Every structure is written in C-alpha cells, then in structure tokens.
Amino acid sequence: MVLQNLKNFIKKKGGWIPFDSFMFECLYGNDDSYYMRKNTSLSGLPFGPSGDYVTSASLGHWMARAYADIYAGIISKTSNIDKEVFAIREYGPGTGELAAKILIELFDQGILPKKYEMLEISQSFIEFQKNKIADILKRHDESLYLKANNILEWKLVQVDREEFAISTDIDPINGLVIASEIIDSFPVKVALWQPTDEILELGIRINHEGDLEFQNQLADDKLIEKVLYRKNQALENGYLWTTPRMLDICFHTERWLKILMGKLSYGELIISDYGLERYELDSDNRIESNVTAFFKHTQTSKLNECLKNVGSQDLTYLVDFSQLSEFFLDQNDCYFHLKSQAAWLIDSGVLDHFSRNQDFLTKGHEMIKEVGNLQKLISDNEMGQSFLFCHVFKNNSRA
Ligand SMILES: C[S@@+](CC[C@H](N)C(=O)[O-])C[C@H]1O[C@@H](n2cnc3c(N)ncnc32)[C@H](O)[C@@H]1O
C-alpha cells in the first residue's frame, strides 16, 4: 500500500522525487506508513525487542532518573516562579515508557509536575502509549495512576510534505522539554558534492521494470548554498575537500527548533540523538551518505537497501549536531552544553544513583539486567559515544 502510494506520488511529480520526499512517504505519508501504522500491538510497534530497534527509553530506569533529577533541579533553583506551574513536554514519546518512568521518579520524590505533555504524530501510537503508561503506573502505585490521569495530556502533531512538522496548538511552558531520537526521523535531503562537477541531489524514480531506483538530479540553489557553506566551513577549519562526498542535510530542523524554543518560556531542553559534529561528518573518510535503514534489529550499510521494505522499515540518519550548535549560538536567551550520552549521564549523577541503589540491585536477576542496561547506555562500544546530548538552558542563569 505504501509502495503503491509512493509510486503514484512519483508519477504525479513527473517521475522523480528527492530523497526527503521519499523518506516522508515511507515514514509519515499515509495511514500505514512506518510511524503512522494502525497495528500498534506491542509486536506491531517499531520500538523494542519485537520491533526494529531499541531506544534508551527501554533500557531500565537510568534515563528517567536523570531527567527526573534535572526536572527537580529546575524547580528547586527557581524561587520566583510558582512551582505548581511547571510542566514536562516530550516530543515523539515512543512507547510511553520514558514518561511513565519519569512520573514514577517524580512521584517518589513528591514533585509531580502540573502537566506532562506528549506530542505525538500518530493517533494509534497515542492509544498504545495510554495503555502502556497505565500498565506501568498501576503496577507501581494505583494512586499515582489516578493522579497521572490529570497530569498527562496528549497533543496530536500534524505533519505535511512541505513543512513537515506543522506548529501544534501548544502553550508556552516553564519546565523541561525532552526530544529523544526525534530529529533523526525528520525527512532529510542527500546531496552529492564533486570536485570538478556540479552539485547533485539524490532522488528516486521508477525504472523500466517498475522498481524504485536512485537517480541524481542537479541540486537547486537552496541545497547548493547549504553544501557550499559546509565546504567553506571545512576549509576554514583546515580541511580541503578533494574527493566526492555525500551530505545529509535536513531543512526542517531549524524551523522546528524555532517553534520549540518559542514555546519554552523558562527551563531546559534536552535533545538527544545519534549523530556527530561536522568535523566528523565532513571528514575525508566519510564519503557515503549516513542515511540508513533499520529492519528487525539489522542496520543496513548500503544506501540501496533503503529502497526495500518500503513503509515497513525505519529510515534514519546521523544528526548534524553542529547545525544545532549554530542555532543555539544564535539565540540570546539561552546557553547549551553538547556532550556524549556517556558524559551527560555521568554528569547527571547516574553512577551515584548506581552506588546508592546497591540494595535494590542485589536482587540477582534484576541487578544483572540493570547493570547491563547501564553498560549499554554508557559504554563506548554501544551507545555511550554514538549518541550526543544537546542540553539547552533557556532564560536560566549560568550554573
Ligand atoms: C526514533 S523514534 C523515537 C521514539 C522515542 N522518543 C524513543 O526514544 O523511544 C522517533 C519518533 O519521533 C516522532 N516524530 C518525528 N517528528 C516529530 C515531531 N515533529 N513531533 C513529534 N514527534 C515526532 C516519530 O513519529 C517517531 O515516533
């Protein structure tokens, strides 16, 4: 169904669409696209052991503890704002597990927020999240479950082909905003820079056999401008590009950040994703696009594989964290830290939690699982260095 819709769309567009349009159709374009699918039983979801990939939200309570501590910090250092008005806003909350675990942490500390807002694109995912959260909270404490019903609020985010994430009807908040692995699912353009030839844009057409295949076209001025900016920036940093290379460029990130920051009056924003800074993204040994597909826990290493399993595999790419840094450096009401996931978790006190909770962890099986989760989150070979955290402080005095 997604494939047929995609082919019709390509024909309607004159036989060729750029990669970002292809990615939009696969992930969001219609009711059975990857992130819009109606089958959201646990085994039908993209996330978790039965899906295509695992995210940090499901690796124990460590992330939730860190976010809860940050939220506690925000409300404790704010004397001039009524503590009752603080909220948490989570973009693309996945299974809902992270929200449930954060609420448990805050409930145990006696500092539940006034509101926990979930911004979700898919109505079916909302239904799944409601059930999952109810399950987790009831198991922890029935009274928390009842309280959470008045705290949790879902907002449907509208997406479209041109602008991608359209501004949702949300109020400005004081508190904590979480965007965990969101930007890597924004539709991205792929450009090809060549030393002695024109800059091209990767796109998709239908070949004579009726199959999808890649085809490059001349890039438009907007894309050329972005590529040349990165080439000149590399040169200023002492790296002269001499070999052809592909660059993944997202045109939606900045606009989304602008909207997001406009709706955070006071507090902290934490964007985490797998990605790199440009000195690594644009180094000479990275000549391929970093776009990749995940299907049943297998990551494909070839761009061509992205054309398979249309609508039923995840498409994603390495987020350009320098784009985020440039955006936040330009704002005059915030400052930020950029850290690896390992550094961010350790600075958030995760190892102190670990040593304080030895008692809880001595229950054999549980301990092995929790220690394994923590290792996965911070080890260099797993997620520790491949995930980055951009932690932004808005209208906050410097720590
Ligand atoms: C890789 S998943 C991550 C899910 C979850 N945050 C986690 O870490 O497990 C990306 C999710 O972000 C959602 N998403 C993408 N753009 C979004 C936006 N502008 N607002 C809210 N959610 C968005 C997608 O629909 C998808 O469910």
What would the DSSP string read from start to end of 179-228? EES-GGGS--EEEEE-TTS--EEEEEEE-TTS-EEEEEEEPPHHHHHHHH
pLDDT computed for residue 364 by the predictor: 67
pLDDT for res 1: 84
| Mutation choice for ligand 1 from 121, 124, 159, 292, CB with most ligand atoms inside 8 A | 121
pLDDT band at 284 (very low <50, low <70, confident <90, very high): confident
What is the pLDDT, as a whole number, of residue 38?
82
Q: Which residue has the higher pLDDT, 204 or 40?
A: 204
pLDDT-based confidence at residue 377 (cuts at 50, 70, 90): very high
* Residue scoring higher pLDDT (58 or 358): 58
pLDDT band at residue 216 under the 50/70/90 scheme: very high
Residue range 2-394, CATH number: 3.40.50.12710
What is the CA(218)–ligand 1 centre distance, in A? Answer: 31
- Compute the average pLDDT of residues 292-318: 92
Share of the chain above pLDDT 90, in %: 78
Query: Taking a C-beta distance cutoff of 8 angstroms, is the pair 326, 319 a contact?
Result: no
Across 367-382, average pLDDT = 90
Band of residue 83 on the pLDDT scale cut at 50, 70, 90: low
pLDDT of 40 > 80? The answer is no
For ligand 1, whether the C-beta of 35 sits within 6 Å is: yes
* The predicted structure's pLDDT at residue 361: 56
55 Cβ closer than 6 Å to some ligand 1 atom? yes
How much is the average pLDDT of 362-366? 68
Q: Work out the pLDDT band at 162, boundaries 50, 70, 90.
A: confident
Per-residue model confidence (pLDDT) at position 81: 63
Position 47 scores a pLDDT of 85
pLDDT band at 286 (very low <50, low <70, confident <90, very high): confident
Please report which confidence band the pLDDT of residue 330 belongs to, taking 50, 70 and 90 as the band edges.
very high
The SS3 of residue 327 is helix
What pLDDT was estimated at residue 360? 59
328 lines ligand 1 (CB under 6 A): no
Q: How far is the CA of 244 from the centre of ligand 1 (A)?
A: 32
Q: What is the pLDDT of residue 340?
A: 98
pLDDT score for 221: 98
> What ranges make up the beta strands (E) of the chain?
16-18, 86-91, 115-120, 152-156, 159-160, 164-165, 173-180, 189-193, 200-206, 212-218, 245-249, 264-276, 292-295, 298-299, 314-316, 319-320, 334-340, 387-394
How would residue 266 be classed by pLDDT, with cut points 50, 70 and 90? Answer: very high
Report the range of poorest mean pLDDT among 42-51, 135-144, 263-272, 349-358: 42-51
CA of 221 to the centre of ligand 1 (A): 30
pLDDT at position 80 over 70: no
Looking at residue 43, what is its pLDDT? 61
More confident residue, 163 or 82: 163
For a substitution probing ligand 1, which of 182, 260, 387 has the most ligand atoms within 8 Å of its CB?
Answer: 182
Average pLDDT over residues 237-255: 94
Q: Is the CB of 92 under 6 A from ligand 1?
A: yes
Positive or negative torsion for Cα 169, 250, 386, 291: positive
Which one-letter amino acid corresponds to residue 326?
Answer: E
Residue nearest ligand 1's atom 14 by CA? 92
Whole-number Å distance, alpha carbon 280 to ligand 1 midpoint, is 25
Which one of 185, 294, 299, 317 would you pick to mutate in the ligand 1 pocket, going by the greatest count of ligand atoms within 8 A of its CB? 185
Lowest mean pLDDT among 67-81, 262-276, 298-312: 67-81
pLDDT at position 370, please? 86
Which 8-state DSSP code applies to residue 168?
P
Residue range 198-213: mean pLDDT, rounded: 97
Rounded to the nearest integer, the mean pLDDT of the chain is 92
Q: How much distance in Å is there from the Cα of 35 to the middle of ligand 1?
A: 8
pLDDT mean over 297-304: 88
Model pTM score: 0.95
Give the contacts of 332 (CB within 8 A, at least 6 positions apart). Answer: none
> How many angstroms does the Cα of residue 181 sit away from the middle of ligand 1?
6
Closest C-alpha to ligand 1, atom 1:
181
**Mean local confidence (pLDDT), 3-28:** 96
The response to whether residue 306 sits with its C-beta less than 6 Å from ligand 1 reads: no
Please indicate whether residue 187, judged by its CB atom, sits closer than 6 Å to ligand 1.
no
Among the ranges given (78-82, 207-211, 266-270, 279-283), the one the predictor scored with the smallest mean pLDDT = 78-82
